[in-house]
């Protein structure tokens, strides 16, 4: 019962992490800057994301420009795109496999559920690591650029909400993967401590019979 509760908790955390990672991947506010200018009426909020750049004027107008060209993007954006998409794919695969491995479902046998639960945990942990890489990298680059005195103030940005959402969601995915893998190792500790050995019971009766037959002749 305790294992089923832990699996359900891990599955709920994973669902929250999957939705958060997908939201962070699509949001345009990875980097945010505000240009007030000479008048508050002309204030502009610039939002830069992985797939589009947006501008929000103080008058209420909002315009976005999609990033169609991949080769013209900085290496940081290309790597962030790849890792976030990988995190989404791995987390979706983890949802499918962990659904089979949960004890509250009637899919598969006992051994199948154990292996599926462990595989789902591995997928969630990999997705969490893939989501942490771009969020930490982006935060590091933004802070270094912000503290650099040679960079003008108009080119300095601050971390946007997408980075925070992506970081928290990646941590939720990693924690859910750890819970699923831990529940598997608690169920099968002998799989890690004692590897399976082949049984030789079929040959032992024959050897015993041969021994008795030799004694009879002696």
Name every residue whose Cβ is closer than 8 Å to that of residue 151 and which is 6 or more positions away in sequence: 145
pLDDT at position 37, please? 52
CB 18 within 8 A of CB 191: no
The share of the chain scoring above pLDDT 70, in percent, equals 77
pLDDT exceeds 90 at position 150 = no
**pLDDT (average), residues 68-84:** 88
8 close to 167: Cβ distance less than 8 angstroms: no
Distance CA 5, CA 180 (A): 11
Residue 9 has pLDDT above 80, yes or no: yes
- 112 is written with which tokens? 């199948």
Q: Once rounded to an integer, what is the mean pLDDT over residues 156-161?
A: 87
| Residue range 85-109, pLDDT digits in tens | 999 999 999 998 888 877 777 766 7
pLDDT of residue 162: 93
> pTM value?
0.77
171 has a pLDDT exceeding 90: yes
Query: Exposed, middle or buried, 27 (CB in 10 Å: 0-12/13-18/19+)?
Result: buried
More confident site: 99 or 171 = 171
> What is the reported pLDDT for 189?
55
Condensed to tens digits (0 to 9), the pLDDT of residues 185-209 reads: 665 555 444 444 544 444 444 444 4
């Amino acid at each position: 019962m305790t294992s089923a509760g832990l699996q359900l908790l891990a599955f709920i955390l994973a669902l929250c992490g999957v939705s958060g990672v997908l939201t962070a991947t699509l949001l345009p506010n990875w980097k945010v800057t505000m240009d007030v200018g000479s008048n508050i009426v002309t204030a502009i909020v610039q939002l830069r994301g992985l797939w589009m750049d947006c501008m929000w004027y103080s008058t209420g107008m909002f315009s976005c420009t999609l990033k169609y060209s991949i080769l013209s993007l900085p290496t940081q954006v290309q790597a962030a795109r790849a890792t976030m998409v990988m995190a989404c794919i791995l987390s979706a695969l983890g949802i499918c496999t962990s659904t089979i491995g949960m004890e509250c479902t009637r899919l598969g046998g006992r051994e199948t559920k154990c292996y599926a639960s462990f595989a789902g945990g591995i997928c969630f942990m990999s997705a969490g690591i893939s989501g942490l890489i771009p969020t930490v990298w982006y935060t590091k680059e933004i802070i270094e650029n912000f503290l650099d005195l040679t960079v003008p103030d108009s080119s300095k940005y601050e971390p946007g909400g997408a980075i925070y959402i992506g970081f928290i969601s990646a941590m939720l995915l990693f924690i859910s993967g750890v819970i699923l893998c831990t529940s598997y190792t608690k169920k099968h500790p002998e799989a890690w401590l004692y590897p399976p050995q082949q049984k030789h019971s079929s040959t032992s009766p024959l050897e015993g019979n041969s021994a008795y037959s030799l004694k009879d002749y002696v």
